[in-house]
Amino acid sequence: MLAEPEPHSAEELPLYEHYTFVVDAGQSPQRIDQYLAVRLTHLSRSRIQLAIEAGLITINGQPTRPSSKVRPKQVIQVRMPYPPPLELTPEPIPLSIPYEDPYLLVVYKPAGMSCHPGAGVYRGTLLNALLYHLRGQALPATEQNAARPGLVHRIDKDTTGLLVVAKEESAYFGLAKQFFDHSTDRRYYALVWGEPKADDGTITAHIGRDPHDRKRYRAFPRGESGKHAITHWRVVERLRLSTLVECRLETGRTHQIRVHLAHIGHPLVGDATYGGDRPRLPLHSPTQAKLAHELLRYMPRQALHAYRLGFVHPVTGEKLLFEAPLPEDMAQALAFLRSL
């Protein structure tokens, strides 16, 4: 169980997090750094270990060690210092912006571009480009999104597609509410290995950090960990070796489509993180194996494209809908598959 962040006094060191966990009665013994890494997904395990060693994380009010085991009904308190501020530098990076007004803009993010600085990436991000485009205009920020002002949602670095960015505060909160309420229309094209038996379906499985690899997420179909996640999918085109599917998000978890489709046995073509960087189907001949590896040459990244974005304008009330054509690499991969 996780309590709300607690306030701290002015006499204390400046802290941006203060959480209290009460360990469930059925919790099996587990290292405290592993226990917290699954629950504090925005923190690296190494950072959690450093905080433990610095005495910022306690069990029942007492300092502990990263290897200490959590036990049922223990009280774990977490206090973390403010992270160093990220310097957001405007950069003259060309952008494709299909819509812009005084309150918001819709932008197309290409493959290979991170949405915002962080995790060792400080330049060349979408946010760096947006700050240059807006000529110094300040984007709305809250305590929660201070490192990514204006961004109410994100897509992975190697995913292409459409994003909406708030340019002022009323638009930010209006858009954030729509994403929180799951009332936006977000659809993706995904090229997956193999051929699903059904023509459509819904995947319901919690998504959380993989306890064995913090760079990955995993599905928890029984809900034993992670956060509730729902993905609706339908077959668009059945092809040799692969299938083009459309995915509609009901929730917006990190790596949701990639994790959910891999969970049902159809990882995205080219997705190295979730096993799609190698053929994931029976190869009955050397020719078929050659074709499968040729497909991967067309798609060296995960074949995922956020092609549709719809929402209600938070200021004018107008219904807006945008669609982006397939990027060149996915279009070429589909052309190759259709030629077989």
Q: How confident is the model at residue 173 (pLDDT cuts 50, 70, 90)?
A: confident
Map residue 61 onto helix, strand or coil. coil
| Other beta carbons within 10 Å of 273 | 20
Q: How confident is the model at residue 2 (pLDDT cuts 50, 70, 90)?
A: very low
CA 200, CA 35: separation in Å to the nearest integer? 36
Residue 75: the pLDDT is: 94
* CATH number for the domain whose boundaries are 96-181: 3.30.2350.10
Q: Is there a contact between 239 and 262 (Cβ–Cβ < 8 Å)? A: no
How far CA 127 is from CA of 132, 145, 153, in Å, comes to 9, 12, 12
Q: Pick from 227, 231, 311: which is nearest to 263 by CA?
A: 231
Domains of the chain, residue spans: 15-81, 96-181, 187-308+320-338
Residue 8: the pLDDT is: 33
Six token digits for residue 156: 């992975």
Six token digits for residue 165: 């960015």
How far CA 187 is from CA of 6, 123, 142, 251, 306, in Å, comes to 38, 28, 27, 12, 6
Residue 58: the pLDDT is: 92
Residue 191 host element (H or E): strand 185-193
pTM: 0.76
Q: How confident is the model at residue 85 (pLDDT cuts 50, 70, 90)?
A: low
Residue 5: the pLDDT is: 38
Residue 96 host element (H or E): strand 96-100
- Selected catalytic residue, list 33, 101, 156, 199: 156
Please list the helix, strand and coil fractions of the chain in percent, rounded to the nearest 5, in that order: 20, 30, 50
Domains 96-181 and 187-308+320-338 share a fold: yes
**C-alpha 102: how far from chain center:** 28
The verdict on whether 199 is a catalytic residue reads no
CA 299, CA 329: separation in Å to the nearest integer? 6
Domain 15-81 indexed as CATH 3.40.50.300: no
CATH architecture, domain 187-308+320-338: 2-Layer Sandwich (3.30)
How far CA 89 is from CA of 117, 157, 316, in Å, comes to 10, 19, 31
| Residue 128, C-beta contacts closer than 8 angstroms, at least 6 positions apart | 88, 89, 90, 91, 93, 117
- Span 26-55, average pLDDT: 86
